Chain A
Amino acid sequence: MSKIHVTTTINGDETELLVRPDETLLEALRDDLRLTGTKEGCGTGDCGACSVTLDGRLVCACLVLGAEVDGKDVETIEGIADGENLHVIQTKILEHAALQCGVCTPGIIVATKALLEKNPDPSETEIRYWLAGNLCRCTGYDKIINAVMDAAAEMRGA
């Protein structure tokens, strides 16, 4: 089976990939690039653990083919912090103890960043519905909501 040559930008870095036709973006990120921050929880787009943005749009990497990202911009959890400076969302998740096992956390952070770029002042209900695609089994979502609201407030004030 011949592979497809893909040129894309991942977290601001120009990247070349050779992907199988049926290879997902999730597999390409993890297995080819060893960017393992993006997680597979289900492989069928139900859990959101593989959330990334594609040209600024929030998607499940397991539902995107590697070949589809040719010429596009991909942002993953590894691109959220700026070098050693954490993003406000990351800091607030830590401060509010909004993670327990942490496996859903990369997806939640990517999804939250996408939300706050669209809607800098979301209500609690809007946050809950936006994050309904990111399953968390540990926290009951309470502290995640606190962290997101606090991050939103700080980003608006900054």
Chain B
Amino acid sequence: MSLDNVPEHDEDAAAPAGEYRPRDFKVVGTRPLRPDGIDKVTGKAMYGADFYAPGMLVGKMLRSPHAHARIVRLDTSKATALPGVKAVMTAADFPAPRNIEAKDVGHHIMAHDQVLYDGHAVAAVAATSEAVAKQALKLIDVEYEVLPHVVDVDEAVKPGAVIVREGQRNKKVPDGYSDNCSGWYECGHGDVEAGFAKADLIVERSFKTASTHQGYIEPHACLASMGPDGRADLWCCTQGHYGVRRMCAGILGMEQSQLRVTASEIGGGFGGKTTVFIEPVALKLSEKAGRPVKIVMSREEVFRATGPTTSSSTDVKIGMTRDGKITAATAMCRYEGGAWDNWTVNMGVQSAFASYDLEAVKSQGVNVLTNRPKQAAYRAPGTPQATYAVESVMDELCQKLELDPIDTRLKNAAREGTKAAYGPTYAKIGLVELLEAAKAHPHYSAPLEPGVSRGVSNGFWFNFGGETCVSLALNFDGTITLIEGNPDIGGSRAAMTMMAAEELGVAYEKVRTLVADTASLGHNETTHGSRVTFAVGLATIKAARAAKAEMCRRAAKFWGIDPDAVEWVDGCARATGHNAGDFEPMPIEKIAKDSPSTGGPIVGHHEVTAEGAGVSFGVHLVDLKVDPETGFTEVVRYTVFQDAGKAIHPSYVEGQLQGGAAQGIGWALNEGYIYGADGCLQNPGFLDYRVPVASDLPRIDTVILEIPNPGHPYGVRGVGETGIVPPLAAITNAVSRNIGVRMNALPMSPPAIRAAIKSKG
């Protein structure tokens, strides 16, 4: 075929290396208005709590006030008898779980014989109004026997610690760790002892980070409607409605085809909405009541009973020669993620030294259970915590050896051909280009005002591909409807529309992109892992190419020539070769209009498990000053450098970088879960869990590099997550230099900074 850019359909390869082709873009790289924008600025857009159904009941959950307790007695009879209450449920209403995911997720949602964290639900009701539902909760009789609890990561790993759940110890965990340790990971290469022996300076430090929350402004909300035949509809705000379907079907013992999930618009996720917290409960209540049930979490419930990040305690040791070469590096990461196993510490272990080309490196990690809610992802899960520790030690080495922080990172930077600390050899990556861009940027050479200090940090993230299905229909009027299955959390519908328009050679306005429900497309992996612009974009491009191929075939038939002699140019089928000039180019509108008669409606589609996502790096620079009297930190200037491969819609790439930086600044300076001696969360609200507000932040400048990812036709690299990785250490390094004390715990809130200044004497 002479059709440009139409790939051979290779049965045996998910994503052949070398997808990328350079081209002159017409639509990609511009900044059109997003298709869902008008609904969002007028209040028309429907989020999770914005759905109502006839006969709808209000669901509410009763939650434990204790961090760890045995349920001695649970009597729901008075609640069931209250007029207006149509259904009551407990964990006993869920069938035996069919897999580990159903087991752990279901258990986190509803307690069995013990409550394992402050906020752990024990029962739920559905009633005709919120007032009746609240009254019903008060009528549920629960007697608890309070048990000892453990919430601190370093307390939980100690032998002799309170055991959170029996039988959770992982076989790989070495001696000297408690039975709360559910996972052990390690990677590395080379001889670290020999490496340290070669160092002129070794810095060894320990760091702690508090748990943080993704802080999405929209609480979880859903509306479930199950019929007597066991078929159900579920509307919810989620990053992945196919994942919701799988988890709910697993927990309720349903077949996936019996449950149709529709994703509403979503008011933020950042990883925290990649699992379920209320949906199985709403479905079960709806089943029992025979009516739709709506559950909306309060903000307090969101903080207490959804999925915050792991908190961490990390030891890092790095040896360096006088001229800045790292000779050896080790890290030991201890993470807790609540009362259920998770593998987030593994990503910390793998990413800790990912930015460096090291001869000798050893990175280890343990996951320990605590009496806290089950952790969920938060942008680059596990990576900010480990990077914070490593990049802080790097800065201390640079400061003590009087070396430039960027030059030192350049000297040791991972590049193409480097064996990563976590194992594979890097293909083409952009870290060196980013460091050089940072070094050359006016921010780095700007003289520092009195009292202002500067901090630098690297960052890394893996990025993912995953299962993707896309369908691109040619409407009879020549417009295009693109359906995909990934909730839009950052402007991805705009990006898909642009890639389809680019590929088809039509105006952006002619393409409409919609996120379809689970019944409309094959499985789509959740919106996470910075996967959507990469994987859904790749599928969109291939669906468009399939449509183009079919449109060319139709034109060829019409003209009575060989299909190989037709190409697609600027939105038209055009004869080539010896037929060139014989026929007027046939525009998409005509092909569309004639399609019922030339073979039927034309739909291009593509299904794939996308691989080859390509890792991404980031470098952040920050200038700040600390008021030594109050301990208040003012961020004065902030610049983000990141490689996007190809920025499809530059404004939305900038948005990801700025948003990630803002979250990282909050994590560094103010955000953190505070637990009381009773193991209960002290600050489950936005007043005392202090996220950055508009007056806290300066402008966040962004520099986007474009080093194409060979695995994507346009070179796209995921960008959503890497931005949260560097801020923790960048801010810590600047604060440490500013006050002359190395900070080793987050958040660096004013009291913490004042204490550090005092300790200096």
Partner of A135 from the list B33, B214, B686 (CB cut-off 8 Å) is B686
Cβ contacts under 8 Å, A81 to chain B: 42
B514 within 8 A of A: no
The answer for the CA separation of A95 and B299 in the assembled complex, in Å, is 31
Check B691 against A100 for contact (C-beta < 8 Å): no
Q: How far is the CB of B680 from chain A (nearest CB, A)?
A: 18
Interface residues of A in 20-43 (CB under 8 A from B): 20, 30-31, 34-43
Q: How far is the CB of B237 from chain A (nearest CB, A)?
A: 9
Q: Mark A10-24, 1 if CB is under 8 A from B, else 0.
A: 000000000010000
Q: Mark B130-173, 1 if CB is under 8 A from A, else 0.
A: 01000000000000000000000000000000000000000000
Partner of A78 from the list B43, B265, B686 (CB cut-off 8 Å) is B43
Query: Considering only CB atoms, which chain A residue lies closest to B302 in the complex?
Result: A42
The answer for the CA separation of A34 and B490 in the assembled complex, in Å, is 26
Q: How far is the CB of A113 from chain B (nearest CB, A)?
A: 12
The answer for the CA separation of A135 and B696 in the assembled complex, in Å, is 11
Query: Considering only CB atoms, which chain A residue lies closest to B41 in the complex?
Result: A90
**Do A102 and B299 form a contact, CB below 8 Å, given A131-B694, A142-B700?**
no
Partner of A138 from the list B298, B659, B699 (CB cut-off 8 Å) is B659
Check A39 against B267 for contact (C-beta < 8 Å): yes
Cβ contacts under 8 Å, B693 to chain A: 131-133, 135
Partner of B42 from the list A47, A86, A145 (CB cut-off 8 Å) is A86
Check A142 against B217 for contact (C-beta < 8 Å): no
Q: Mark A35-63, 1 if CB is under 8 A from B, else 0.
A: 11111111110110100000000000000
The answer for the CA separation of A39 and B43 in the assembled complex, in Å, is 9
The answer for the CA separation of A35 and B217 in the assembled complex, in Å, is 19
Check A80 against B655 for contact (C-beta < 8 Å): no
Check A77 against B43 for contact (C-beta < 8 Å): yes
Check B687 against A140 for contact (C-beta < 8 Å): no
Check A42 against B490 for contact (C-beta < 8 Å): no
Check A143 against B299 for contact (C-beta < 8 Å): no
Check B694 against A137 for contact (C-beta < 8 Å): no
The answer for the CA separation of A100 and B651 in the assembled complex, in Å, is 10
The answer for the CA separation of A104 and B131 in the assembled complex, in Å, is 27
Check B686 against A37 for contact (C-beta < 8 Å): no
**Do A34 and B270 form a contact, CB below 8 Å, given A41-B219, A142-B700?**
no
Check B131 against A101 for contact (C-beta < 8 Å): no
The answer for the CA separation of A46 and B298 in the assembled complex, in Å, is 13
Number of chain B interface residues as a range: 35 or more
The answer for the CA separation of A57 and B426 in the assembled complex, in Å, is 57
B714 within 8 A of A: no
Query: Considering only CB atoms, which chain B residue lies closest to A130 in the complex?
Result: B694
Check B490 against A138 for contact (C-beta < 8 Å): yes
**Do A42 and B686 form a contact, CB below 8 Å, given A37-B43, A140-B662?**
yes
Partner of A47 from the list B217, B270, B296 (CB cut-off 8 Å) is B217
B445 within 8 A of A: no
**Do A102 and B46 form a contact, CB below 8 Å, given A42-B685, A42-B686?**
no
Cβ contacts under 8 Å, A39 to chain B: 47, 49, 217-218, 267
Q: Mark A95-128, 1 if CB is under 8 A from B, else 0.
A: 1110111111110010000000000000001011
**Do A138 and B655 form a contact, CB below 8 Å, given A43-B298, A46-B687, A101-B489?**
yes
Cβ contacts under 8 Å, B214 to chain A: 137
**Do A141 and B662 form a contact, CB below 8 Å, given A99-B37, A105-B40?**
yes
Q: Mark B218-231, 1 if CB is under 8 A from A, else 0.
A: 11000000000000
Check A143 against B655 for contact (C-beta < 8 Å): yes
Q: How far is the CB of B148 from chain A (nearest CB, A)?
A: 32
Query: Considering only CB atoms, which chain B residue lies closest to A129 in the complex?
Result: B695
Check B655 against A104 for contact (C-beta < 8 Å): no
Q: How far is the CB of B4 from chain A (nearest CB, A)?
A: 31
A67 within 8 A of B: no
The answer for the CA separation of A49 and B40 in the assembled complex, in Å, is 13
Cβ contacts under 8 Å, B34 to chain A: 94, 97
Check A137 against B50 for contact (C-beta < 8 Å): no
A134 within 8 A of B: yes
Cβ contacts under 8 Å, B266 to chain A: 101
**Do A76 and B685 form a contact, CB below 8 Å, given A49-B217, A101-B268, A137-B268?**
no
Interface of B is mostly: loop
A136 within 8 A of B: yes
Partner of B267 from the list A42, A76, A103, A125 (CB cut-off 8 Å) is A103
Check B52 against A34 for contact (C-beta < 8 Å): yes
Q: How far is the CB of B230 from chain A (nearest CB, A)?
A: 30
Query: Considering only CB atoms, which chain A residue lies closest to B664 in the complex?
Result: A140
Q: Which residue, of A40, A42, A102, has the highest number of chain B Cβ atoms within 10 A?
A: A102
Q: Which residue, of A40, A81, A135, A142, has the highest number of chain B Cβ atoms within 10 A?
A: A142
Cβ contacts under 8 Å, A80 to chain B: 42
The answer for the CA separation of A128 and B635 in the assembled complex, in Å, is 14
The answer for the CA separation of A81 and B663 in the assembled complex, in Å, is 32
B216 within 8 A of A: yes
Partner of B268 from the list A35, A96, A138 (CB cut-off 8 Å) is A138
**Do A132 and B695 form a contact, CB below 8 Å, given A36-B46, A41-B217, A42-B686?**
yes
The answer for the CA separation of A125 and B693 in the assembled complex, in Å, is 12
Cβ contacts under 8 Å, A31 to chain B: 52
Check B217 against A137 for contact (C-beta < 8 Å): yes
Q: How far is the CB of B136 from chain A (nearest CB, A)?
A: 16
Check A103 against B268 for contact (C-beta < 8 Å): yes
**Do A137 and B663 form a contact, CB below 8 Å, given A39-B267, A86-B42, A145-B694?**
yes
Interface residues of B in 197-223 (CB under 8 A from A): 214-219
Q: How far is the CB of A144 from chain B (nearest CB, A)?
A: 7
B448 within 8 A of A: no
Q: How far is the CB of B270 from chain A (nearest CB, A)?
A: 7
Q: Mark B631-660, 1 if CB is under 8 A from A, else 0.
A: 000000000000000000101101100110
The answer for the CA separation of A57 and B219 in the assembled complex, in Å, is 26
B45 within 8 A of A: yes
Check A100 against B42 for contact (C-beta < 8 Å): no
Check B41 against A94 for contact (C-beta < 8 Å): yes
Q: How far is the CB of B263 from chain A (nearest CB, A)?
A: 13
B44 within 8 A of A: yes
The answer for the CA separation of A140 and B489 in the assembled complex, in Å, is 15
The answer for the CA separation of A104 and B268 in the assembled complex, in Å, is 10
Check A101 against B658 for contact (C-beta < 8 Å): no
Q: Which residue, of B40, B43, B685, B691, has the highest number of chain A Cβ atoms within 10 A?
A: B43
Q: How far is the CB of B44 from chain A (nearest CB, A)?
A: 7
Check A144 against B694 for contact (C-beta < 8 Å): yes
Check A139 against B217 for contact (C-beta < 8 Å): no
The answer for the CA separation of A77 and B41 in the assembled complex, in Å, is 8
B697 within 8 A of A: yes
The answer for the CA separation of A112 and B654 in the assembled complex, in Å, is 23
Partner of A103 from the list B47, B695, B696 (CB cut-off 8 Å) is B47
Q: How far is the CB of A67 from chain B (nearest CB, A)?
A: 16
Check A100 against B695 for contact (C-beta < 8 Å): no
Check A97 against B655 for contact (C-beta < 8 Å): yes
28 A-B pairs (CB sep. < 8 Å): A20-B131, A30-B49, A36-B43, A36-B49, A37-B44, A39-B47, A47-B686, A49-B217, A76-B43, A77-B42, A78-B42, A80-B42, A97-B31, A100-B491, A101-B267, A102-B36, A102-B265, A103-B265, A104-B217, A128-B694, A128-B697, A137-B691, A138-B655, A139-B658, A139-B662, A140-B692, A140-B697, A142-B654
Extra contacts besides A138-B490, A143-B651 (5): CB < 8 Å: A40-B49, A43-B298, A97-B34, A140-B659, A140-B700
